[in-house]
Amino acid sequence: MFTIRYLGDYVFLAESEDGRLLIIDGRGKDEKKYFSPMELLLVAAATCSAIDVVSILSKMRKDLGSLKVEIEGERRKEYPRIYDKVRVKYIVKGDLDRKSVEKAVKLSLDKYCSASITLMKAGADLTYEIIVNNNGE
């Protein structure tokens, strides 16, 4: 369970049952100091997929040096203003082959990452790009 408390000026505090805290901002983009709920959706999808990719490559016994995931989305103009386009870029470094990275990303996006799958089921066209900087390609 999570509890959301209004702090004033369209800023909210989310608290988990075990005491973890998150500040969420509902102000316009020029006034915002914290993540908005819709930004958190993108952050959740990118982090969820990144966790999967790390786990899958580890199980494949691949040497992942580093992983950076960039995500951006475009929202519909009409309400509900859901994401209709999401672009994800995976930048990986290590002694990796592109085929293994592509397999890990596809498994994440098609099967394991609940957050990105939720976005796609809501109608978002999710595209991705993979950049592999390595010694083994």
- How much of the chain exceeds pLDDT 70, in percent? 97
For residue 32, the number of C-alpha atoms closer than 13 Å in the C-beta half-sphere is 14
Nearest to 54 by CA among 65, 44, 42: 65
> So what's the pLDDT on residue 29?
82
> So what's the pLDDT on residue 67?
97
Read off the pLDDT of each residue in 32-51 and give the average, rounded to a whole number. Answer: 97
Read off the pLDDT of each residue in 80-88 and give the average, rounded to a whole number. Answer: 97
pLDDT digits (tens, 9 = 90+) for 95-127: 999 999 999 999 999 999 999 999 999 999 999
How large is the angle between the packed helices 37-59 and 114-121, nearest 10 degrees? 130
- How much of the chain exceeds pLDDT 90, in percent? 93
> So what's the pLDDT on residue 136?
47
Read off the pLDDT of each residue in 15-40 and give the average, rounded to a whole number. Answer: 95
pTM of the model as a whole: 0.92
State yes or no: pLDDT of 137 exceeds 50.
Answer: no
Read off the pLDDT of each residue in 4-14 and give the average, rounded to a whole number. Answer: 98
Read off the pLDDT of each residue in 43-59 and give the average, rounded to a whole number. Answer: 98
Contact 93, 134 (CB under 8 A): yes
Please provide the average confidence, as pLDDT, over all residues in the chain.
95
Work out whether the CA dihedral 86, 68, 15, 116 comes out positive or negative: positive
